[in-house]
Structures are given as structure tokens and as C-alpha cells.
Amino acid sequence: MKEKVFIVPEGTKVITRGIVPRDVTECIIPSTVSEIRDYAFYGCKKLTTVVIPSTVYEIGESAFYECEKLTDVVIPEGVTAINDYAFANCTSLKSVEIPEGVTAIDDYAFANCTSLKSVEIPTSVKYIGMCSFLNCVNLGSIIIPNGVEEIDDHAFDGCSSINGVITIPDSVKYAGIYAFYRCKNLEGIIIPSHLSKYVFIAFPKSITKIK
């Protein structure tokens, strides 16, 4: 594949849809950029490499949607939310670094990232959105940190490689419908007593250990 490098002009503060060519393989973003707006890299299906500078504090909805060749991403420390569909359908994405300070992984943020093998959710996260990791079939393990308050509907639905026992911390106030549905290799869960009413709608029937 012939490489096509796009350099965002120095002095640019905001990357919006239409600035970056759809056929780009690499994008160089200057430190003057503070926002990557909605759909900025939408459908850049050949994009393999992008370095997001530490000056960026906003990654918009569907910002990297369907960047099918993107393999890894480091989210800057100033970002506080990973917005809806931000990295959805990035089917080659293997790793992502989410910094402390992010409080929300919003709806469908990493949905259908079928190559994603691991992700560390920082303790600052309060909300794990609806279908946020839907069908991440190679995600092998997940730790829900103390501090998370809501795991929304279908959050980890279809994460069929998650194994072992998951501990749901006391901080979680709500576990949504089918939050861990189709996690067929999940062996058990440890949940706080106030979540017992959600067990049969949030977790798969294959679970053999519930405490």
C-alpha cells in the first residue's frame, strides 16, 4: 500500500470533518491543535498511524469511526471523555491507552474493535457507556475499577474472550441490561449485594460463580 502522509498545518487549533483526506495513511498533528471534532477522521480506512498531541482535550463523536487500519492509539491526559462512537469499528485497533482524568467512556466508543486485546480503565472513570465495548471479541480481560458508578446496557456484550472472574466494585450503582451478555468464557462475578437484582439481566447464564 502506497503511503500518503498528511501534515495538519501548524497553527491549526481545531480539526473538523473534511480537513483530513479520506485516503491518508498517516497524519501528523501539530501541538497547536486542541480539539478533534466530530467525524474528523471518519472513514479514513487506510489510516494506520496518528499521534494525538498532549494539547488535545476533546475527541469528538465518531472522530475515528471506521479507521479500519489504525492499530494503536494513546489518548492525551487532558481528555475527560471518550465520546460516542469515537473509535467504533476500528477493527485493527489492538491497544489503547486511556489516561487518568477520563470520567466517561461513552456509548459505542470502542464498539466492534474486534482486534482489541486489552484496555485499562482508569480509576477516574465514572461511566462505562451503552455498547461501549460491544463485540470486542478478542478482549481477554477487564478490571472494573472502584469509582465506576454505572455500567450501561450491553457495555461488554459479545466480549467472548473475557475469562476468569470479574469483581464489580461497591461504587457501581447500576449494571445495565445485558451488560456482560454473550461473554461466554466468563466464569463468575463478584458483586455487591445492592446489585443482586441485576444479576439475571446483566450477566450471561453461563456464569457459575456469583457471590
The DSSP string of 104-155 is: EE-TTTTTT-TT--EE---TT--EE-TTTTTT-TT-------BTB-EE-TTT
Question: Alpha-carbon distance 22 to 42, whole Å?
Answer: 8
Burial 185-194, CB ≥16 within 10 A → b, else e: ebebbebeee
Residue 46's pLDDT is what? Answer: 96
As a whole-number percent, the residues of the chain with pLDDT over 90 amount to 74
Convert the pLDDT of each residue in 107-126 to its tens digit: 999 999 999 998 999 999 99
Residue 208's pLDDT is what? Answer: 45
The sign of the dihedral angle between the CA atoms of 100, 101, 103, 108 is negative
Residues 73, 64: contact at Cβ < 8 Å? yes
Convert the pLDDT of each residue in 153-207 to its tens digit: 999 999 999 988 888 999 999 888 888 889 988 888 888 888 766 555 666 655 5
Question: Alpha-carbon distance 29 to 159, whole Å?
Answer: 33
Residue 91 CB: number of other CB atoms within 10 A?
A: 16
Q: What are phi and psi of 198, to 5 degrees?
A: -95, -5
- Class of residue 84 by CB neighbours under 10 A (exposed 0-12, middle 13-18, buried 19+): buried
Residue 199's pLDDT is what? Answer: 56
Cα end-to-end distance, the chain, whole Å: 52
pLDDT above 90: residue 210: no
Report residue 57 CA to chain centroid gap.
16
The sign of the dihedral angle between the CA atoms of 62, 67, 68, 72 is negative
